[in-house]
Structure 1
């Protein structure tokens, strides 16, 4: 009855009533995919995947997050939007290929999914993760993002005639159509790359992605360098903000159950190269907010549309991977860097919001940004440790 009343007040027809959430969900998927698929592909390649394995991984993560969005939204009748971990993909780029290659990365994906499941089942473990100061988690993410966000500047120095149109397009779109700045940037980059690069004919035979089964390997170094940082980044930068978006729009889903299902989905996608999936944050706002529907009880349809759109995108992952593989890496990094500027700004704000934690957060940031590995352990982990030690010292002896 509430839906009919709201529809009557807004003058919305039955067809418009159905179209609005469908359009909002499809738009959210387009924005989410266009803003980060290059980062995901680059992260998988940096982690040791071949072009075919990267395409299969992109396909797997699109399909699994699409199915998970549809299933959870139908079950809970809430706009539950599932997405890949973009900060996690950036972490893969910064970490590089582990000893043992992509199979070890796949094993780390599975361990990350298992940790998320444990966080959902074991309240004490979830509380321990939540106890990590958010300022340090944000600072670690900012340190990981910094190098990639410098890519547009490096690209201007290396090939200004190709990088400048991409940067100008992003700046103009950011000024006049901010929500579409990243998709516009991707479109202009695709035109620039298409005019300056010849796509090898051999890659066209793999336009449709083929699942490539990767037998997972397990290595202690990958656990410390990939699985643990990926888990922390996913929880702090995706799941917690995703829950905040849902709660802010009046939805209170069972948290433990969501973690269990997203963790299981991550484990399921891993053997095909799919990286960790989690609650969406930015795209969740498009599906859970008034833009999706004036009636909160109808917004779950938007997440159904989002899931269906992601499944369609997954079927064309091979073409996306072939295009990215043939493009100059610095241009792909430019698009990724521009897309992540807002994330860097948000992470820096989160890192510095508490005055008492600012110095520990800066220590975490500079350590993570250094890229220096000690004892075979990556800088992101050491940044979190260094900042945590300072936080502990600062609070020592206080009530």
Structure 2
């Protein structure tokens, strides 16, 4: 009996790890994605379409990459990129221009896979400045849970308390369980108000948006989104897999994620990339003792993501019924650990601290000049300060 159950146990471990990877990856950050898409002009239908397009594209990408490479390669949407969209807000040209910027990001990622020099150029961006820009972008969203305490304390306190308790006893599930509590709160609100949801609102649908192009969207969304996605997702994703003994096929990964972003952009998807935080769930020992079989965990997560895509419309409908600030509060809790690690990385090198602090403050200021958001000016200011101080 032990000889038959052992192979089954070895097969079930990566499958279970894949299910956990997908559930944690999806539920812990979809609120950030919705907040980002709405901030740059998407209505509820377009935001639901974007969530659906992203989940479908990286779910299929995971299946392709993990099957062909037999490596535990997992993909995700760009959570820091979505936070960037929140801080950027609407640009000249509205939602179509934002979609055009998403399309440009996909093209840049494809070019990064095809042209090694472009990848090396991205690698020359100082890590401290890239992380400081990300931290500044995240700050406003991470303040949301605490601001909501003043406006809707009875609704937000249960979510924060749940998150804290889960962080103590089961940190991996802290945000998903807090999200579950938030959805319960929204459900109670709907019952109290007597509101109902039609079946048409629960069916996932892809909504086409013809891309528009404006130089403000290219500079304010496309360029910062590309840099954040590369520096905060793709490069760390490679490092995470490397720490478990796996060499990521860089060219194939960039081509798949870039093409997936291009295909998903007209339907509202902002960017997909290599998973960073959730990658460890499929690549580590939780996915089985035999590293050669851990690709099964990634492959399983791809199928689960495709199933979760069916929930996109229902989630957007529920979130649309949420009291003001509740979605942003959950998104802020989801990004607190990312904010902490970004600040730590930005200030870790003493010689880079002044430039990093200038970058952080500029990004957090919300400055908009010539129709271009703060992230672009933050990186520019940080590079200028860094150059001046080094020259001196």
The TM tier, using the shorter chain, reads over 0.9
Q: 1:118 to 1:297 in 2, by over 3 A?
A: same
2:318 to 306, 323, 328: 323
2:357 corresponds to: 362
1:109 to 77, 102, 106: 102
Alpha-carbon shift at residue 201 of structure 1 (Å): 3.4
Alpha-carbon shift at residue 200 of structure 1 (Å): 4.5
2:211 to 186, 211, 216: 216
Q: Deviations over 1:68-96 (max 9, x none)?
A: 00100001010110100000111111111
1:84 to 33, 58, 77: 77
1:141 to 118, 134, 141: 134
1:3 corresponds to: none
2:186 corresponds to: 193
Whole-angstrom distance in 1 between the partners of 2:195 and 2:106? 36
Q: Deviations over 1:367-390 (max 9, x none)?
A: 000001122211111111111111
2:167 to 149, 169, 174: 174
1:21 corresponds to: 14
Is the CA contact (8 Å cut-off) linking 2:101 and 2:221 kept in structure 1?
A: yes
Whole-angstrom distance in 2 between the partners of 1:44 and 1:259? 23
Is the CA contact (8 Å cut-off) linking 2:81 and 2:225 kept in structure 1?
A: yes
Question: Secondary structure at 1:185's aligned position in 2?
Answer: helix
Q: Deviations over 1:163-201 (max 9, x none)?
A: 111111111111111111111110111111211235853
Q: Gaps (5+ residues) in structure 2?
A: none
2:59 corresponds to: 66
Alpha-carbon shift at residue 42 of structure 1 (Å): 1.4
1:4 corresponds to: none
Q: Deviations over 1:22-62 (max 9, x none)?
A: 11011011001111111111111111111111111111110
1:297 corresponds to: 292
Whole-angstrom distance in 1 between the partners of 2:300 and 2:30? 19
Q: 1:305 to 1:375 in 2, by over 3 A?
A: same
Whole-angstrom distance in 2 between the partners of 1:187 and 1:208? 21
Is the CA contact (8 Å cut-off) linking 2:102 and 2:261 kept in structure 1?
A: yes
1:347 aligns with 2:311: no
Normalised to the residue count of structure 2, the TM-score between the two structures is: 0.96
Is the CA contact (8 Å cut-off) linking 1:52 and 1:209 kept in structure 2?
A: no
Whole-angstrom distance in 2 between the partners of 1:267 and 1:36? 21
Whole-angstrom distance in 1 between the partners of 2:41 and 2:196? 24
Alpha-carbon shift at residue 204 of structure 1 (Å): 3.8
| RMSD, matched Cα | 1.5
Q: 1:362 to 1:332 in 2, by over 3 A?
A: same
Question: Secondary structure at 1:16's aligned position in 2?
Answer: helix
Is the CA contact (8 Å cut-off) linking 1:63 and 1:314 kept in structure 2?
A: yes
Alpha-carbon shift at residue 203 of structure 1 (Å): 5.0
When the two structures are aligned, how many residues end up with a matched partner?
389
Whole-angstrom distance in 1 between the partners of 2:358 and 2:187? 42
Alpha-carbon shift at residue 303 of structure 1 (Å): 0.5
Is the CA contact (8 Å cut-off) linking 2:216 and 2:370 kept in structure 1?
A: no
Q: Which moved more, 1:169-178 or 1:255-264?
A: 255-264
